[in-house]
Amino acid sequence: MARRPTLEFWYEFASTYSYLAAMRIEALAQAADVAVRWRPFLLGPIFAAQGWNTSPFNLYPAKGRNMWRDVEREAGRLGLPPLTRPDPFPQNSLSATRAAIHAADQPWLVPFSKAVFDGAYAKGRSIAEPSAVAAILDTLGLDGPATLRAASSESNKGRLKLAGEEAKSRGIYGAPSFLTEDGELFWGNDRLEQALDWAAGNRPGAMR
């Protein structure tokens, strides 16, 4: 059996377009015969480094208004449930991201991540408090409180920090982002198809 190329999917639970990408990447990747490595990370430190203390969608109100309308439209187009807007936005994603980092290489990383996104953007639930994250873990048949304790260990915190440093060093400045094995970076849900094409070896024209 031929080795499938891998695409890294870098996502942030507080990111609306990461939600859209998370809900469609599996089917598209399967069709493209590309494996996906889910890479949770925190955008906060990257935004802070460029002088932003919150989402650019809050800092620039016209941009923010159109983002909400756009995500509503795109969710409708993709057949997703009507969008619910997290309040406050962005949600504090620290607990959920720690749990996702702890889940690396575990079979529950993807269902957990999709459940967090679904809670925030389709069910209108908070995903910020540790108790909310524990409840999501419980619904997946995991021990929520014990998982959160493990996710709060110093070694797991270190892995989360390392993921952020890796994101920055690889040129990531927003979410979702897609990275191919040869280091090609694609930013935004709108580039998922192009990233999969690139990973699968379908390059436009003379591009290398």
CA pair distance 137, 96, nearest whole angstrom:
10
Residues facing residue 56 across a β-bridge: none
Binding string, residues 79-98; x marks residues near a second copy by CB under 8 A: x--x----------------
Tell me how far apart the 2 most distant CA atoms of the chain are, in Å: 53
Q: How many residues bind a second copy (CB under 8 A)?
A: 33
Q: Classify residue 201 by burial, with Cβ atoms within 10 Å: 0-12, 13-18, 19+.
A: exposed
CA pair distance 100, 108, nearest whole angstrom:
9
Residues facing residue 37 across a β-bridge: 8
Q: Classify residue 135 by burial, with Cβ atoms within 10 Å: 0-12, 13-18, 19+.
A: middle
Of 124, 149, 117, the C-alpha closest to 22 is 117
Among 31, 73, 131, 162, binds a second copy (CB under 8 A): 73
Tell me which stretch binds a second copy (CB under 8 A): 16-24, 27-35, 110-118, 189-197.
189-197
Phi, psi of 61 (to 5 degrees): -60, -40
Between 107 and 183, CB nearer to a second copy: 183
Among 1, 2, 27, 207, binds a second copy (CB under 8 A): 207
Between 133 and 195, CB nearer to a second copy: 195
Between 112 and 186, CB nearer to a second copy: 186
Among 31, 45, 70, 88, binds a second copy (CB under 8 A): 70
Of 23, 17, 24, the C-alpha closest to 56 is 17
Among 5, 111, 124, 174, binds a second copy (CB under 8 A): 174
Tell me which stretch binds a second copy (CB under 8 A): 35-43, 117-125, 138-146, 200-208.
200-208
**Nearest distance in Å: CB 88, a second copy:** 22
Task: Write out the residues near a second copy by the rule CB under 8 A.
Answer: 50, 60, 62-63, 65-66, 69-70, 72-74, 76-77, 79, 82, 168, 171-174, 184-188, 190-191, 194, 198, 204-207
